[in-house]
Copies of this chain bind each other. A is one copy, B any other.
Amino acid sequence: MAGHLPVFDRLLEIALLIQEDLANFFTGTGLTSSRTHLLWELHRLGPCTQQALASALNVTPRNVTGLVDALEAGGFVERRLHPNDRRATLVTLTELGSKTTAEMVRGRELIASQLVAGFGEDHLDRLSRDLDAIAYRLHEMVNTERPSTDATA
């Protein structure tokens, strides 16, 4: 019966630490976490429209405008003409942007490997499966409209 809270608390703690750690990692690049996130999606998606970024980041198009403005001012991305649609802009990484995302990839790998250094193959597999299960259940919980815990008035 006991034993599940420690897991949850650890996960929460880890969630916060990962954020801190990642933030720490990018301090000095002049990037906020939102801008970092956009840059990361751009790296994953390749050049794309602001609409696509808005969907990927789950924010409004207006919000993307602001983030792209800032990243453009910082020299990380460029707005280019869309070949087929003159309404749209194609947001693309500049050289600095590419260098930065390459750095992000390396940093992510470094942190990832340090996190579980010394864990054997089987150990990693087992842990991965557990986390898979947990992530799956969380997805379910998020998508299931919470059945109202009767939060009082």
Q: How many copies does the complex hold?
A: 2
Interface residue from B106, B138, B149 paired with A18 (Cβ < 8 Å)? B138
Min CB distance A152 to B, Å, is 6
Q: Given the known A-B contacts A116-B4, A149-B110, are A14 and B138 also in contact in the complex, defined by CB atoms under 8 Å? A: yes
Q: Which residues from B are CB-within-8-Å of A12?
A: 18
Q: Using CB atoms and an 8 Å cutoff, list the residues of chain A in contact with chain B.
A: 3-21, 24-25, 28-29, 99-100, 103, 106-117, 119, 121, 123-128, 130-132, 134-135, 137-139, 141-142, 146, 149, 151-152
What are 24 sample pairs from A and B whose C-beta atoms fall under 8 A apart?
A3-B116, A3-B128, A4-B124, A7-B115, A7-B127, A7-B128, A8-B111, A8-B112, A10-B131, A10-B132, A11-B14, A11-B18, A14-B131, A15-B18, A21-B138, A24-B142, A24-B146, A103-B149, A106-B149, A110-B149, A111-B141, A116-B134, A117-B137, A119-B130
